[in-house]
Chains A and B, each alone.
Chain A
Amino acid sequence: MQTKRTIFPNKVLPYFLLAPQLVITGIFFFWPAGQAIWQSFLREDAFGFKTTFVWLANYTALFEDPNYLNSLQVTLVFSVCVAALSLGLALLLAVCVDRLIKGASGYTTLLLWPYAVAPAIAGVLWWFLFNPTIGILPFIMERLGYNWDHALNSTDAMILVVVAASWKQISYNFIFFLAGLQSIPLSLREAAAIDGAGPFKRFFTITLPLLSPTSFFLMVVNVVYAMFDTFGIIHATTEGGPAQSTNILVYKVYADGFIGLNLGSSAAQSVILMGIVILLTFVQFRYVERRVAY
């Protein structure tokens, strides 16, 4: 791990400096995480009188539960759609801004602010636009011959949450793509232009490959975002419905734990989710350390 060439020789001070963060991380992360792991091996009876140690039964039950498998699938579809949609649009917008000399910062400002909107609020905004009775989008779709109803139609519900989640994430991706584009030396593109590559060819043969570290990084971030930070969107709009069609993993953990009161199963789900996040964190970290090492 990187440190400084020279350091302070104090032996006790660093522990005091670390203490606040370690205490908080210990109490509010490791303790609950430990409890989740412990809890995931237990099963309570319906009245909470008796608790039995059931080894991995909660986990095996999960992977035999069609609802959980459905939730896995829903999460996968949701994450891939959100990542693809928001990354694609953000890249398009960033490339356009990068082209401009005048007005670039104005557009940036106008594209930036959805980042500040809470996921739950984003959900409510789009829920309103998609409202089957008074929403403007269903009104237009009806004219085009489609009868929109996200309360009954699974696909409609999925589209609603994907759109809301992507909308909020575009600004984030946009900022990173723009920063990535602007860090590509102009001379490279000039060299390609002299070599006779037109603007579109240049984009696909020079810009996009050079942007791949940013893209990879954003892909991981977007998957993490879609999987874990979109709780508010689901909760404020579809609540996992209709027929579990938008019941993503992070919502199911909450629903099973707080509403279904199925503690063992919820704990096992928590443990699996934590595993996924930590895995993704390490993937990201390796990448970060590599970049820093330049």
Chain B
Amino acid sequence: MVENKPWLTALAHLVLILGVIVVAFPVYVALIASTRAPDEFMSGLIPLVPGPHALGTYWELLTTGASTSGAPPLGPMMLNSLVMALIIATGKIAISILSAFAIVYFRFPFRQFFFWMIFVTLMLPVEVRILPTFKVVADLGMLNSYLGLTVPLLASATATFLFRQFFLTVPDELLEAARVDGAGPMKFFRDILLPLSQTNIAALFVILFIYGWNQYLWPMLVTTETGYYTIVMAIKRMAEVADGLPYWNYVMAAAVLSMLPPVLVIIVMQKLFVKGLVETEK
């Protein structure tokens, strides 16, 4: 702080408290709604203090599903989301750290070409080319499978780009010292580069886990069997029914459940997450 102006600091606190309240408000309301009984949503105003039905609602949703709101149990769906997020995070990290290694530490014909091939996918979400991608996956018989859920989403350059940027900052002398010390490429990769990338890998893992968990359109298209549903895509189905017959307590409980794991990941790994985010885009 450059100078001491207490009223400015107080103003900053005020703005921040307001900001935090605005940011938290929708989730607070959702939490409250999930503890209420369904008939409390027929008309009037959303209650703003917790009700007594929390445990019952969540337990029912997770295990048997809310038959009244047309939803299968959410427990298995969360498991599917977890599997999907984990495969996407590890898969992306694995393939991109290798390709970044190739692009930075070797010189070979078509290197530039391959780099651009990967690079054009940097910001390209699957939604943009959804129909043809869906067709390819359907033609390959990958519908209703974890492979179909995950592998097409691995085609993106963000992680490759991050590792490339990071590798470029690794001092050249480290590679030279390793070469003088008799380390070949894969040995250098395993003994030096991989340990040095640890924080980056962890940070990226957080980002990609959230990315994978939050997939919506893709799982909606690729899965028709309830056994492969993920929780984020299921919310829509429940909300649709709720619009007719307002079972808002279930919808909101499902919303809370679906955001719980990624939110926890962010809060627990805040430092890594911030680092990962800022570095991916740097």
Q: Which residues of A contact B (CB under 8 A)?
A: 1-8, 10-11, 13-15, 17-18, 20-22, 24-25, 27-33, 35-36, 39, 89, 92-93, 95-97, 99-101, 103, 107-122, 124-129, 131, 133-136, 139, 167, 170-172, 175-176, 179, 186, 189-190, 193, 199, 202, 217, 221, 224, 228-229, 231-232, 235-236, 250, 253-254, 257-258, 263, 266-267, 270, 273-274, 277-278, 280-281, 284-285, 288, 291-292
Q: How far is the CA of A129 from the CA of B26 in the complex (A)?
A: 7
Q: How far is the CA of A232 from the CA of B213 in the complex (A)?
A: 13
Bound complex: CA A1 to CA B133 (Å) = 31
Determine which residue in A92, A111, A121 has the highest number of CB atoms from chain B within 10 A of its CB, and name it.
Answer: A121
Q: Look across to chain A and name the residue whose beta carbon is closest to the beta carbon of B184.
A: A8
B128 and A270: CB pair below 8 A?
Answer: yes
Is the beta-carbon distance between B106 and A10 smaller than 8 angstroms? yes
Residue in A109, A134, A231, A236 whose beta carbon sits within 8 Å of that of B270 in the complex: A109
Are A21 and B118 CB-contacts (below 8 A) given A10-B106, A109-B270, A118-B232?
yes
* A39-B132 in contact (CB<8A): yes
A18 touches B98 (CB 8 A): yes
The answer to whether A24 and B130 touch (CB under 8 A), given A10-B106, A107-B16, A232-B217, is no
Q: Is the CB of B277 within 8 A of A172?
A: yes
- Given known pairs A99-B1, A281-B120, A292-B168, the reply for A20 and B19 (CB within 8 Å) is no
A20 to B181, CA, bound (A): 30
Interface residue from B45, B215, B263, B274 paired with A116 (Cβ < 8 Å) = B263
Write out, one digit per residue, whether chain B residues 84-99 have a CB within 8 A of any chain A CB (1) or not (0): 0000000000111011
Cβ–Cβ contact A236 & B235, under 8 A: yes
Q: B60 to nearest A CB, angstroms?
A: 19
Contact status of A4 and B43, CB under 8 A, knowing A116-B210, A217-B281 = no
With both beta carbons as reference points, the residue of chain A lying nearest to B265 in the complex is identified as A116
In whole angstroms, how far apart are the Cα atoms of A274 and B152 in the complex?
Answer: 17
19 additional A-B residue pairs with CB within 8 Å, beyond A267-B131, A273-B128? A5-B172, A11-B108, A18-B114, A20-B95, A22-B118, A28-B133, A33-B132, A39-B132, A93-B19, A96-B11, A112-B273, A120-B232, A170-B23, A171-B23, A250-B128, A270-B130, A277-B128, A278-B120, A278-B124
Is B225 close to A, CB under 8 A?
no
**A-B complex: 5 closest residue pairs judged by Cβ atoms:** A32-B132, A116-B262, A118-B214, A17-B102, A96-B12
12 A–B contacts from the bound complex (CB under 8 Å): A21-B96, A24-B151, A100-B13, A113-B266, A115-B277, A116-B262, A120-B214, A120-B233, A135-B46, A217-B281, A257-B131, A267-B131
Which residue of the partner chain, among B15, B123, B137, B213, contacts A118 with CB atoms under 8 Å?
B213
| Residue in chain B with minimal CB distance to A27 | B136
| B70 contacts chain A at the CB level, 8 A cutoff | no
Q: Of all chain B residues, which has the CB nearest A120?
A: B216
